[in-house]
A and B are shown apart, each in its own frame.
Chain A
Amino acid sequence: MDTVHACFEEKIGEVLLPGDVFSFRLPESGDGSIKTGPGLRRNGEEVQVYKSGILRHKQPNMYWIDSQQRRVRVLDSHHVIGIVTAKSGDIFKVDVGGSEQASLSYLAFEGATKRNRPNVQVGDLVYGQFTIANKDMEPKLVCIDSCGRANGMGVFGADGLLFKLSLGLMRRLLAPQSEIAKDLEKIFPFELVVGMNGRVWSCENMTSQQRQTLFKRVAEGSL
């Protein structure tokens, strides 16, 4: 296993291009495994890079490529912000920024029953989680977890602004010790919802004077 890790270690922090290969002979009886994250793919006994970016490592055995992109990746159990576009029968069609619209059943909300329908209108914002998300099937969203609790998911945001970010910035916002979030916190109280599809919704309560002073500060570059 150590030879395998050594093979990766010399490239940590370096820029790799698609087509770069890590080839090593897998040990016959290994006690340990390697986890490859996004950007790395297993090809027989080799690990190939398929995205350009920097190789990162997390203890004890996780390697992935840190790359920039704007296109949304629809993946299982990701929390995303969706916009309800249509209501057809028992399901809502939700736009999550992917190639297809996701379907969200009206029973997938906390406390929803056939008689007690959730109050969701076309144009609402929903924060939900994918249950089915692969390239072969229509993506499916739910707003409850496996125990049936909402955990913050569901319709939100009657007021506030929604805008799109690149996925890299979104990941920086959601990083555990995010500097951006800390800096923003110092400025004013606000609420932020970040979806893994690159969408961010924010809401704040500032008076117009506060806003003007803030804009002045930004214009001066003193933030």
Chain B
Amino acid sequence: MSNQEKKTKKLSTKYYYFMQRGLDAELKKQLDEEEKRIISDEHWFLDLPELKAKENYIIEERSCVPCEDLVYGRMSFRGFNPEVEKLMLLMNTHKEEEEDEEEDDVSRMETDITDEEMARRYESLVESMRNKFAKKRNRSTVTKSEEDVNCNVVGDQPKKVFLKPQD
């Protein structure tokens, strides 16, 4: 009886396998392999020797912009249009940065902010965020503790909690 069941199971899974939820792993593998074999037999391919693609040593470039390092098209002289002058600096240094990345970091240091400024900014940012999320009652204690240079945490007053009436 079990054999017959297995057989019927096999038969039914062969034709309705997409309706089965749990297939045996082995059965699935077998079915997949059979499918692949059938499909690859039907594929047509050229019966030629393998041709190696030649490496292209000659790269064609149609535009003259990289050849001659042309600068950005909008230009302003002597401060006629300050926005365009800013753009000029931006686009032309951007192009330079792309080209020589090995160049000294001297030019880049000028545009970056210094570490000190960064630390200061973060300090103020953290404080303001803390203030924002502190509850109204805690806000005064938060600001008080910041004034102390050593940041010694003075003991908070006991928090005011709802007192149940004793009756």
Q: Is the CB of A152 within 8 A of B84?
A: yes
Q: How far does the alpha carbon of A45 sit from the alpha carbon of B72 in the complex, in Å?
A: 35
Whether a CB of chain B sits under 8 angstroms from the CB of A84 is no
- From residue B56, how far is it (CB to closest CB) to chain A in Å? 7
Q: A58-B67, A64-B67, A189-B80 are in contact. Are A151 and B59 (CB under 8 A)?
A: no
User: Nearest-CB distance from A104 to chain B (Å)?
Assistant: 17
Contacts of B57 in A (CB 8 A): 4, 26-27, 30, 32-34
Q: Binary interface profile of A, 1-45, with partner B (CB < 8 Å = 1, else 0)?
A: 000100000000000000000000011001011111110111000
Query: Which chain A residues border B63 with CB–CB below 8 Å?
Result: 37-38, 75-78
The complex places the Cα of A40 from the Cα of B58 at a distance, in Å, of 11
In the complex, B91 has a CB within 8 A of chain A: yes
Assess whether B70 is in contact with A175, with CB atoms less than 8 Å apart.
yes
Q: Which residues from chain B contact A41 at a C-beta distance below 8 Å?
A: 60
Answer yes or no: A192 CB below 8 A from chain B CBs. Answer: yes
Chain A positions within 8 Å of B64 at CB level:
37-38, 64, 171
CB contact under 8 A between A189 and B61, given known A64-B67, A152-B74, A194-B73:
no
Stretch at the interface among A90-98, A106-114, A115-123, A180-188: A180-188
What residues of chain B lie closer than 8 Å to A161, measured between beta carbons? Answer: none
A191 engages B59 (CB within 8 Å): no
B91 touches A42 (CB 8 A): no
A56-B67, A58-B67 are contacts. A189–B78 as well, Cβ < 8 Å? yes
- B153 sits at the interface (CB 8 A): no
Q: Are A75 and B84 in contact (CB under 8 A)?
A: no
**Within residues 29 to 64 of chain B, which ones have a CB less than 8 A from any CB in chain A?**
55-64
Q: Within 8 Å of chain B (Cβ to Cβ): is A89?
A: no
Known: A47-B58, A62-B67. A79 touches B73 (CB 8 A): yes
Query: Is there an interface contact between A196 and B77, defined as CB atoms closer than 8 Å?
Result: no
The answer to whether the Cβ of B79 comes within 8 Å of any Cβ in the partner chain is yes
Is the Cβ of B77 less than 8 Å from the Cβ of A75?
Answer: no
Q: Tell me which of A62, A178, A193, A205 contacts B66 (CB under 8 A).
A: A62
Contact B77 A184 (CB under 8 A): yes
* B80 x A191 contact (CB < 8 A): yes
Complex Cα gap A127–B73 (Å): 9
Q: Does A162 contact B (CB under 8 A)?
A: no
Using a CB–CB distance below 8 Å, which chain B residues touch chain A? Answer: 55-81, 84, 87, 91
Binding site for B on A (CB under 8 A): 4, 26-27, 30, 32-38, 40-42, 47, 56, 58, 62, 64, 75-79, 127, 151-152, 171, 174-176, 178, 181, 184-185, 188-196, 203-205
